[in-house]
Amino acid sequence: MSRKKQPFPAGNQRFAQDIAALLAPWGMSQSMGRVFGYLLLQREPVSLERIAQDLELSKTSAWKMAQDLANCGHAERHRSPVGDTGG
């Protein structure tokens, strides 16, 4: 049985954008702020593929933003089980 991906709601997109705008004066890039806001809304770890898809970022950009957030202590990296696509 496959899980159908639910679209990222417009209200959540707005929240992520608002967090990015809030953090910009402290030197956080727009993309990193959007990823941070997105992660604040998640109840469980989420894959880089899902972050990229929901925020319409490249996978490389999503990886870079997640890594930078982890390096700053604002996010944690979780390894997904083998075969899990995070969808």
Tens of pLDDT, residues 19-77: 999 999 999 999 999 999 999 999 999 999 999 999 999 999 999 999 999 999 999 98
Exposure class string for 54-84: b at 16+ Cβ within 10 A, else e: bbebeeebbebbbebbeeeebbeeeeeeeee
Residue 13: CB atoms within 10 A of its CB come to: 17
Comparing CA positions, the residue from 2, 15, 80 lying closest to residue 48 is 80
**Quick one: pLDDT at residue 78?**
86
Going from N- to C-terminal start, the domains of the chain cover 10-71
**Quick one: pLDDT at residue 85?**
53
Whole-angstrom distance, CA of residue 8 vs CA of residue 25: 26
Domain 10-71 = CATH 3.40.50.720: no
